[in-house]
Amino acid sequence: MGLISNKIHRGNLQPGDHIYSFRKWKSYSHHGIFVESDKVIHYTKTRKEEPANKLRRRPACKKCGFDRKVHRGVVISCLDCFLSGYELYRFDYEVPYHHFLFKRSGTCSTGSCDDPAAVISRATALLNSQDGFGDYNLLENNCECFAIYCKTGKHMSEQACSAKLTIRAVAQAILDQNSGRLLEDVRVHDPDNYMNLKEKIDKLIPLPLNEIIAILGKLNENEEDVEELETMEK
């Protein structure tokens, strides 16, 4: 377990390890389960995508036969195909809370994992299943979800959770800033309505962004709609 980095040499891998590799600019990572010697079971996009330039299409791996344009869903490949030229890391389980707080999302969990035999059994069963791991979804059903499920029998994605929280935080920051701008604008141009609007915005801030937009839109409508809104708030 490393506080700074989970980087690991391939010679130190153990069957059943949850491994991952950061991709371009470390903007995301690809996850899988190391099963034996040089083999990794991992989950890829299930929908076929035509290459933008067919001349640049990579041939199938001479070592394991893996072809990323043909093999989809739950696949097995050599470690080199899994890494695709990037560095190797091992996902940590049962990390203490203070450790978790300082780690990047998608690199560790406070939860416990099952024994290697159970992990490999789950991964192999999904590999051999006709349905695999279902349809790929970047936020709800991705390679990290697959690896965590194989390790724990539970479904979640740290990367997806982090992305959702980031989007929410950015939206909230924009809302906070722009609500301040709105209030200042109304204070100057419509001072009689300033306090009324401020009270409403203070009540709205905890609500989801789409609800806030809908309610503020109603404030620009006629008095009947405003009265209806006030009744709803009660």
Span 57-92, pLDDT tens digits: 678 999 999 998 889 999 999 999 999 999 999 999
3-state SS, one letter per residue, for 118-180: HHHHHHHHHHHCCCCCCCCECCCECHHHHHHHHHHCCCCCHHHHHHHHHHHHHHHHHHHHHHH
Catalytic residue among 18, 31, 42, 145: 42
The per-residue pLDDT of the chain, averaged, comes to 81
Q: Which residues sit opposite 43 in a β-bridge?
A: 74
For this structure, is 81 an active site residue? Answer: no
The single-letter code of the amino acid at 177 is Q
Q: Which residues contact 28 (CB under 8 A, 6 or more apart)?
A: 22, 159
pLDDT of residue 234: 47
Residue 13 vs residues 57, 65, 79, 187, 234: alpha-carbon distances, Å: 30, 22, 11, 64, 60
Ramachandran area for residue 14 (φ above 0: left; ψ -120 to 50: alpha; else beta): beta
pLDDT of residue 138: 82
**Per-residue pLDDT tens over the stretch 172-191:** 666 667 777 777 777 777 88
pLDDT of residue 230: 47
Percent of the chain with pLDDT over 90: 44
| Domains of the chain with bracketed CATH | 10-156 (3.90.1720.10), 163-233 (no CATH)
What letters, b where the CB count within 10 A reaches 16 and e where it falls short, cover 146-162?
A: bbbbbbbeeeebbbbee
Q: Is the pLDDT of residue 10 over 80?
A: yes
Catalytic residue among 18, 30, 64, 150: 30
Residue 195 vs residues 20, 33, 138, 184, 206: alpha-carbon distances, Å: 53, 58, 44, 11, 19
Instruction: Give 224's pLDDT tier (boundaries 50, 70, 90).
Output: very low
Mean pLDDT within 32-44: 96
For this structure, is 18 an active site residue? Answer: no
Q: Render 12-65 in DSSP notation, one character per residue.
A: G--TT-EEEEE-GGGS-EEEEEEEETTEEEEE---S----S-GGGPPPPPTTT-
For this structure, is 99 an active site residue? Answer: no
Catalytic residue among 81, 108, 143, 150: 143
pLDDT of residue 217: 63
Written as six digits, the tokens of 141 are 């059903």
Highest mean pLDDT among 47-51, 121-125, 210-214, 219-223: 121-125
pLDDT of residue 47: 77
The pTM assigned to this predicted structure is 0.67
Query: Pick the residue with more confidence: 140 or 94?
Result: 94
**Per-residue pLDDT tens over the stretch 117-128:** 999 999 999 999
